[in-house]
């Protein structure tokens, strides 16, 4: 046995684990919220049960605990940056994420987001597992519907490689950039400011330089277009 591998962690290897990207919602017509998740997976087949992982600090975590149910919207491969930005980079504590969205309410009463979705599933929580920073909700499937049979789902790999997206800090797959192995020797960095909310995109701190972001990228805080950003 080669003992040289002991204690060696290349965090780039974690990106090789495959995930999808989903909108997980919970609540009711009176109070609802949702977030982007890349950790939704099936754990049993008969009866079908799924697990969804949620940071304890997420506003939606408390709502799922209270309602005992949640929905999962499977995102289209070409899901828009505004949909991802709205549910992935805003907090339901500060904004009504469901306002202006195409929402249906399921058998359990939870909101189901239809924007950029190719299918949705609805669950009743059977068990909650505390794993430290996150909660894993294990749900029994009560409803599932196909919205676009021909479309492919968005994967985390496509989100990172093609859409140039990064995981927010609350995501279970978030990796501090200081842990990633990359050479910065000789590189020139710039900063860009959102004129609407003041958000700063710092090339040095991000995985992808601002110039290499797709044209439809928008401010993760307020949704301002990339073309409106000001180089500092």
The structural domains of the chain, with segments of one domain joined by +, span: 17-158, 184-232
Average pLDDT over the chain reads: 85
pLDDT at residue 181 greater than cutoff 60: no
Rounded-to-integer distance, Cα 47 and Cα 226, Å: 45
Cβ(34)–Cβ(25) below 8 Å: yes
* Confidence band of 71 (pLDDT split at 50, 70, 90): very high
pLDDT of residue 96: 94
pLDDT top residue among 69 and 174: 69
Mean pLDDT for 163-175 is: 58
pLDDT of residue 176: 62
pLDDT of residue 179: 54
**Residue 225 DSSP label:** B
Mean pLDDT for 99-104 is: 96
pLDDT at residue 184 greater than cutoff 70: no
pLDDT in tens, 13-50: 876 777 899 999 999 999 999 999 999 999 999 999 99
pLDDT in tens, 112-162: 999 999 999 999 999 999 999 999 999 999 999 999 999 999 988 877 776
Measured over the CA atoms of residue 116, residue 120, residue 125 and residue 129, the dihedral's sign is: negative
pLDDT at residue 195 greater than cutoff 90: no
Rounded-to-integer distance, Cα 76 and Cα 165, Å: 15
pLDDT of residue 218: 84
Closest-CA residue to 72 (of 15, 140, 4, 171): 140
Rounded-to-integer distance, Cα 68 and Cα 27, Å: 9
**Residue 152 DSSP label:** P
Using only C-alpha atoms, the chain has a radius of gyration, in whole angstroms, of 19
Q: Give the helix/strand (H/E) hosting 61.
A: helix 59-67
pLDDT at residue 183 greater than cutoff 60: no
Half-sphere exposure of 72 toward its Cβ, with a 13 Å CA cutoff?
30
CATH architecture of 17-158: Roll (2.30)
pTM over 0.85: no
Measured over the CA atoms of residue 223, residue 225, residue 228 and residue 230, the dihedral's sign is: positive
pLDDT of residue 177: 58
* Confidence band of 207 (pLDDT split at 50, 70, 90): confident
Pick the CATH number of 184-232 from 3.40.50.2000, 1.20.1250.20, 2.120.10.80, 2.20.28.10: 2.20.28.10
pLDDT of residue 86: 86
pLDDT of residue 2: 52
């Amino acid at each position: 046995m080669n003992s040289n591998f002991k204690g060696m962690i290349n965090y780039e290897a974690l990106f090789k684990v495959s995930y999808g990207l989903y909108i997980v919602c919970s609540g009711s017509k009176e109070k609802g919220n949702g977030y982007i998740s890349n950790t939704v997976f099936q754990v049993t087949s008969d009866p079908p049960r799924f697990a969804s992982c949620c940071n304890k600090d997420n506003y939606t975590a408390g709502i799922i605990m209270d309602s005992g149910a949640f929905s999962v919207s499977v995102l289209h491969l070409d899901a828009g940056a505004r949909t991802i930005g709205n549910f992935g980079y805003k907090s339901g504590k500060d904004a009504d994420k469901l306002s202006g969205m195409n929402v249906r309410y399921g058998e359990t009463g939870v909101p189901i987001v239809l924007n950029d979705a190719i299918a949705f599933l609805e669950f009743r929580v059977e068990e909650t597992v505390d794993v430290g920073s996150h909660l894993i909700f294990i749900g029994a499937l009560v409803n599932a519907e196909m919205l676009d049979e021909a479309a492919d789902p968005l994967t985390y790999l496509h989100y990172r490689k093609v859409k140039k997206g990064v995981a927010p800090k609350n995501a279970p797959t978030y990796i501090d950039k200081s842990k990633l192995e990359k050479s910065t020797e000789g590189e020139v960095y710039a900063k860009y400011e959102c004129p609407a909310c003041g958000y700063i995109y710092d090339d040095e701190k991000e995985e992808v330089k601002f110039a290499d972001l797709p044209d439809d990228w928008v401010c993760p805080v307020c949704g301002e277009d990339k073309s409106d950003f000001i180089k500092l």
